[in-house]
Structure 1
């Protein structure tokens, strides 16, 4: 099953009901950006869930020890630790820097995410070989070369033509995964770019706030469906379901913050 250029030209992704549903669930990112406790939680969840999607063997305690104390887990691969540290570094760059959605930003984030996981010459640049198979699917991505680069530029042009924040973030994510522009770390890069796109539109980005293996499986299966059919529906189901969970968590955070602002602090005896 070969690359289908028509997938990049499908720009009507969300129907009006789905747009209204996501808009109703959404929070302004800037309202939470200064809540350090909340951001720390979302930071950890984004890093951890992204690693779990990739099959990382670090559990939550291992990941906490690595991020907070720099301790690697005995008996586990160095590449698993490096994946987590790279995800942390990419997340921090997204949070701290004012990055536009562009091919250059995508390359910058890939260079961070792929550090020591691919050869230095392949960090942040188009792959120089053909991908001969992706686990779980018969899809064969476009061969390397000028056409792959042209399609990548076309992807960002199409992204710029979309104006609904959720629609364009989802478009960006799925098609970065589909193109497989880089040697490795394509899905990680796509999730970071999706996060950045929503952040730039002042919408709360998608973060999996629950450690639920069924969601990781659902995500992987949704991408296989997109690779083979160009059908967004499975990914939309995943996105909306996980965004609902995140919205529930954020409502609780907002309620606690409001309570702290309106309740006088009692002096400790």
Structure 2
């Protein structure tokens, strides 16, 4: 006999979620329900959440342990007799969202239907085959020109990555926080700043959330510091996945590798491809196609569409696509895309439109709004920056090699040890200044920023223990 779920249970759960506009995780929800004297087993609660989602009363965001549940602020509309007649503009007015095109509104209306009302679909290779680089365009010529005008810094005749490198400290915080938040991470921007700048993990946060932030930091540093080498290639994307998924996957061997297991998309009727050989082939076709796209904005958006649609990895696919979208922007010395202030729900629904309809208009609305938002911030910030240290830039690689060598050899950073470790690439007349720069780096070195030099946490901890007075 099937047990009937009491309406008061669902109502209370929905009410608790409604009090958290940025979303609430299962553990926090359990604690809040207990405060109301309403405790239930985790499995029971998860089943209730599925029911609420199927009825369109809540929206899950994120995957696995990072998932949070958002309130759907249109209950009265959904229960009204004339709900179907209500325009999506009325719905948008009830929540934070991005400005939508008519096509974007159509997609939003479709994906907001209960899951049982949407047609199950699988991967459609025709969606990719219909795209011809530099002939097919997801972004119109006018739109690309608009983005180029707002995203090109004054005096942009500089090496690849100069703009991103100028604002690196701010970008590390903004993109790490914003991209993680889209996955349900509950770190605040201030928490993220403390973690990245001082290595201070936020109290009361899951260790996986801390790891997610640090993984973003490492991946962003790779894109910016190696801008002249990083490109839209299989190796780069695999490296991005390895950095972003480090310590977050059930199977460590899956980091930086095409998946060998089937996956599903929470809250979606889309079922990705399961065959590893087919995934590998399509993964390379997607990147080969992307490499042929000449316009950096079109290339960035193409990656945001087709990498998560294929789901080449066991997890962390959308995070990879968001950072991969920055590769052409950084290489062309354009303003990077940080996803700052992007509403999680808008992004999730835009991706559902790609998964279930093979339509990109809603994601395009999000992309354009997000890029305009990023440009407004970073172009203003850059005008206030102190000119970069040219000496540090010239010896950036040598600096990293020296710091890493001293740590790996578990030596104390002194003038003597640094002098002995100076690479041959440093000119003799620059030795004294270089030694001072290395010693300065060691004064500011901690577990939160050691990854900048390719030093893993365990290696840093062992060195720190060794050199303690």
TM-score interval, smaller chain: 0.7 to 0.9
Equivalents in 1 of 2:376, 2:147: separation in Å?
13
Measured at CA, do residues 234 and 78 of structure 1 come closer, stay the same or move farther in structure 2, by a change above 3 Å? Answer: same
Measured at CA, do residues 80 and 250 of structure 1 come closer, stay the same or move farther in structure 2, by a change above 3 Å? Answer: closer
Aligned residue pairs, count: 252
State which of 123, 138, 143 in structure 2 corresponds to 1:13.
138
Gaps of 5+ in 1: 259-269
Name the counterpart of 2:170: 41
Residue 65 (str. 1) matches residue 194 (str. 2): yes
Q: State TM-score, norm by structure 2.
A: 0.51
Q: Which has the larger share of helix?
A: 1
Measured at CA, do residues 182 and 33 of structure 1 come closer, stay the same or move farther in structure 2, by a change above 3 Å? Answer: closer
Name the counterpart of 1:216: 344
How far 1:112 sits from its partner (Å)? 0.9
Residue 198 (str. 1) matches residue 329 (str. 2): yes
Name the counterpart of 1:108: 239
Higher relative contact order (CA 8 A, sep 6+): 1
Q: State TM-score, norm by structure 1.
A: 0.87
Equivalents in 2 of 1:14, 1:33: separation in Å?
23
Cα-to-partner distance string for 1:203-238 (whole Å, 9 max, x where unaligned) = 2221134xx3x6222111111111111111111111
Contact (CA 8 Å) 1:165, 1:201: kept in 2 or not?
yes
What is the correspondence of 1:68-79 to structure 2 with a 5 Å cutoff? 68-79=197-208
Residue 96 (str. 1) matches residue 210 (str. 2): no
Equivalents in 1 of 2:123, 2:142: separation in Å?
30
Equivalents in 2 of 1:87, 1:200: separation in Å?
19
Contact (CA 8 Å) 2:303, 2:325: kept in 1 or not?
yes
Gaps of 5+ in 2: 1-120, 154-159, 387-469
State which of 343, 353, 368 in structure 2 corresponds to 1:225.
353
Name the counterpart of 2:259: 127
Equivalents in 2 of 1:200, 1:193: separation in Å?
11
RMSD: 1.9
Q: Which protein has the larger Cα radius of gyration, Structure 1 or Structure 2?
A: 2
Contact (CA 8 Å) 2:164, 2:336: kept in 1 or not?
no
